[in-house]
Structure 1
Amino acid sequence: MGAGPGGNNAAAGIAQSQSRAMIAAAACRRDSYNKLYYKEAEHERRGRKRRARLVVAVEEAFTHIHRMQEEEQKKASSDVMDSREAAEAIFPSMARALQKYLHTTRQQHLHSMESIQQHLVFCITNNMTPKAFLESYLTTGPTLQYGKDRWLARQWTLISEASVTSGLKDGTIFLLKFIDFSLVVTSKKIPYIQLAEEFIDPKTAV
């Protein structure tokens, strides 16, 4: 028994509605992909832009401090600016660019302003280049800081599956933890190398 004209029209209408729904869903997914793509592209573009501004700001700051040091040496003054004073003098000129870059790269929680200034003092004291100063920030990832509350802590928590009263063995892994800082330690055996000297007479050598 065949379907009447009304049934055919209803089936065609349902198929057409389903087709429109599928097209709309595909368009929605395509729009989502496009939005995500452009969002990521914009984030990368902003990151490159702020990285370039940071590099320029740091290079100009280091150039300025070198110029100041040269002028002081020419004056032969006994009141020479020390590394901390030099860092305090140039830090404001780079601080904004550095903060924006760290925020864009989601590293702001890894570097406190105090640790950055201490790192700057360290670099100036040891006559390091702008590139050396920036290395800690342009390479994303966990970082070590100079804070005394981390390294001179009164109490660290030792976490280990092995007994803490037994001696260290090759491959033993344990964790030292203090507040929000964790240090994973893997013990390695010191290699033992034995060297022997053997003289080969050139006349007997083949």
Structure 2
Amino acid sequence: MCRLAESSTNNSTGQSRAMIAAAARRRDNSHNEYYYEEAEMERRIRKRKARLVVAVEEAFTHIKRLHDDEVASSPKHPREVMDPREAAQAIFAPMARAMQKYLRTTRQQAFHSMESILTHLQFCITHNMTPKAFLERYLTPGPTMQYQQQSGRGRQWTLVSEEPVTSGLRQGLVFSLRRLDFSLVVTVTPLPFLRLGEEFIDPKSHKFVMRLQSETSV
């Protein structure tokens, strides 16, 4: 009886050790699979990002901003002079495919429609912004939610604060805005001193032409 009990105990111990070893191997395999999946995803994102940056920088070289004196003296046909919307549409096509692939790879396609990208592109070229400034919205991680103008629920937020809501803002004050499962934590910081000037720009002066002499084609 003693030998039988000892044999059963040894068998149980051996089975337990085998199960622990098998579980350890599964954990190692899961760790390796996760590592390689993450590495592959990072590689794909870097590749899509590089192609997007190059495509946007090349697209921006296809347009030239016209000044008032150039518009008045230009011998070109009037149809060749474009407003910001037309200029944005003209250079959007070369970058659209790279943009779509990058947004799909980074799982942002649900948050940036082609129309919103085109509108942002129009804003950037109107204000002489660089390709890097245009891309910042898509390359820099940010909130993953958008406001729907047709929905009134998107404006129903709850303010949570240790300070009374009637008190003024001060440096270091922290409060949060909550809606459903989202929470936006706000920290109050002072703005730097800015010396502001004023310069009037006629909206009708935003005119562009295509750079037909560019090495790359649209």
Distance 2:158 2:30 in 1: 47
Deviates more, 1:169-178 or 1:43-52: 169-178
- TM-score normalised to structure 1 length: 0.65
Structure number with higher relative contact order (C-alpha < 8 Å, ≥ 6 residues apart): 2
The one of 31, 34, 56 aligned to 1:36:
34
The structure-2 alpha-carbon separation of the partners of 1:61 and 1:31, relative to structure 1 and needing over 3 Å to count, comes to same
Are 2:141 and 1:140 equivalent residues in the alignment? yes
Residue 107 of structure 2 corresponds to residue 106 of structure 1: yes
- Which residue of structure 1 lines up, in the alignment, with residue 85 of structure 2? 84
Verify the 8 A CA contact 1:173 1:187 in the aligned structure 2.
no
Deviation at 1:30, TM superposition (A): 0.7
Give unmatched runs, 5+ long, in structure 1.
192-206
Query: Aligned AA for 1:61?
Result: A
- Would the aligned equivalents of 1:169 and 1:187 in 2 still touch at CA under 8 Å? no
Deviations for 1:129-173, whole angstroms, at most 9, x for unmatched residues?
21121111111113999x9949xxxx8878576887x57454677
Match of residue 59 from structure 2: 61
Aligned length: 180
Contact 1:110 1:143 (C-alpha < 8 Å) held by counterparts: yes
Preserved CA contact (<8 Å) 2:160 2:178: no
User: Computing the radius of gyration over CA atoms, which structure comes out larger, 1 or 2?
Assistant: 1
Root-mean-square deviation (CA), in Å? 4.2
Q: Would the aligned equivalents of 1:123 and 1:133 in 2 still touch at CA under 8 Å?
A: yes
**Cα distance change on mapping 1:144 and 1:157 into 2, 3 Å:** closer
Q: 1:51 aligns with which of 38, 49, 52?
A: 49
Q: 1:17 aligns with which of 15, 18, 41?
A: 15
The code of the aligned residue for 1:49 comes to K
How far apart are the structure 1 equivalents of 2:7 and 2:164?
A: 79
Structure 2's unaligned 5+ residue stretches are 194-218
Pairwise CA distance, 1:97: 1.6
1:99 alignment partner AA: Q
